[in-house]
């Protein structure tokens, strides 16, 4: 490995950006990687940890066949440019963070270049399309799994895999505190005050983190909100968190 390790990471959506930020922080805390240069594709959470995003992550975050077809030219362009960048600079390792449809193709090209590949977050091959494991074996040198039963599936197929724990386990308190949660919502500007009425029911509405996804499901969500509001006898407060400001548009 070079004096300043070069690590290429690619996340394709906000959830991957959050996972990637934790991974980057862990990498840079290791003595051998303290001065590593991390580049590729990521969002604000990864960039806050010192990551350099060379392409906008938003262009990879699509849902459904129609939206994917619309974005396909730009996605293919990014993938082509990314592979060229990898060929020029030859990173010490490539880490694909979820986004298997994009990352597995790039990882396969990296292996052809003798660049080690790591994939963080196993595709749900245990739930559906189990045959994907054959393609994964051709692309990934080592799989990082978040569920304890996943490594055995890969070991049985002859692929190295390690259980690293679920990232949310360290983010969500074991004993949730409604008071602390209300204070955080107030600090973030979601509540006018921390004094929610005693008889007020607070419901989180979670339509997704992709613009295409939100546009698709929002009508059904808001029909449900109206139905709950009419059925509920007491006051109800609905909170709709969004990953980025531009996602407010399809919700308005």
Q: Does residue 1 form part of some domain?
A: no
Please report the DSSP string for 116-184 in residue order.
-EEEES---TTTS-TTHHHHHHHH-SEEEESSTTHHHHHHHTT-EEEE---GGGGTS-SS--HHHHHHH
In the prediction, which pLDDT does 88 show?
Answer: 97
Among 31-35, 99-103, 176-180, whose mean pLDDT is lowest?
176-180
Q: Specify the pLDDT at position 216.
A: 75
Q: What is the distance between the alpha carbons of residues 28 and 35, in angstroms, rounded to a whole number?
A: 7
Query: Is residue 251, in this structure, part of any structural domain at all?
Result: no
Domain range enclosing 75: 6-170
111-158 pLDDT per residue, tens: 999 999 999 999 999 988 889 999 999 999 999 999 999 999 999 999
Structure confidence at residue 251 (pLDDT): 60
Q: Are both 55 and 115 inside the same structural domain?
A: yes
Q: Looking at 30-34, 67-71, 147-151, which range is the least confident one?
A: 67-71
Residue 249 in domain: no
Query: Among 148, 170, 192, which residue terminates a domain?
Result: 170
Please check whether residue 252 lies inside any domain of the structure. no
Nearest Cα neighbor of 207 from 58, 71, 63 is 63
Last residue of a domain, one of 140, 170, 200: 170
Same domain, 44 and 104: yes
99 found inside a domain: yes
Are 46 and 136 part of one and the same domain?
Answer: yes
What is the number of other CB atoms lying within 10 angstroms of the CB of residue 29?
9
Domain-located, residue 191:
yes
pTM attached to this predicted model: 0.77
Structure-model confidence comparison of residues 135 and 199, the more confident one: 135
**Domain check: are 208 and 189 in the same one?**
yes
Give a yes or no: residue 85 inside a domain.
yes
Please give the pLDDT value at position 250: 57
CA–CA gap between residue 19 and residue 25 (Å, rounded)? 10
Are residues 155 and 218 located together in one domain of the fold? no
Assess whether 165 and 183 both reside in one domain: no
Say how many C-beta atoms besides its own lie within 10 A of residue 185's C-beta.
16
**Number of domains composing the chain:** 2
Pick 99 or 69 by higher pLDDT.
Answer: 99
Using CA atoms, how far apart are residues 250 and 216, in angstroms rounded to an integer? 9
Mean pLDDT of the chain: 86
Nearest of 109, 78, 97 to residue 7 by alpha carbon: 97
CATH number of the domain within which 121 lies: 3.40.50.2000
Say if 135 falls within a structural domain.
yes
Task: Say if residue 182 is in the same domain as residue 240.
Answer: yes
Q: Which residue has the higher pLDDT, 14 or 119?
A: 119
Pair 103, 223 in one domain: no
Among 113, 145, 170, the domain-final residue is 170
Q: In terms of domains, do 117 and 138 share one?
A: yes
């Amino acid at each position: 490995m070079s004096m300043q390790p070069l690590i290429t990471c690619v996340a394709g959506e906000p959830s991957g950006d959050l996972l990637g930020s934790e991974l980057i922080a862990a990498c840079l805390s290791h003595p051998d990687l303290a001065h590593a240069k991390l580049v590729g594709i990521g969002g604000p959470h990864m960039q806050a940890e010192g990551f350099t995003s060379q392409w906008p992550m938003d262009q990879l975050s699509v849902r459904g066949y129609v939206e994917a077809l619309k974005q396909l030219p730009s996605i293919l362009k990014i993938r082509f440019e990314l592979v060229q960048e990898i060929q020029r600079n030859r990173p010490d390792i490539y880490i694909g963070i979820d986004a298997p449809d994009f990352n597995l193709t790039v990882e396969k090209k990296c292996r052809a270049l003798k660049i080690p590949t790591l994939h963080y977050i196993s595709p749900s091959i245990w739930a559906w399309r189990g045959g994907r494991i054959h393609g994964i074996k051709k692309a990934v040198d080592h799989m990082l799994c978040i569920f304890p039963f996943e490594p055995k599936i890969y070991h049985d197929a002859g692929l190295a895999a390690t259980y690293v724990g679920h990232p949310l386990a360290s983010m969500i308190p074991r004993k949730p505190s409604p008071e602390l949660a209300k204070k955080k919502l107030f600090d973030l500007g979601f509540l006018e005050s921390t004094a929610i009425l005693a008889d007020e029911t607070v419901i989180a509405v979670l339509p997704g983190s992709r613009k295409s996804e939100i546009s698709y499901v929002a009508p059904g969500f808001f029909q449900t909100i109206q139905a709950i509001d009419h059925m509920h006898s007491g006051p109800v407060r609905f909170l709709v968190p969004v990953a980025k400001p531009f996602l407010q548009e399809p919700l308005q």
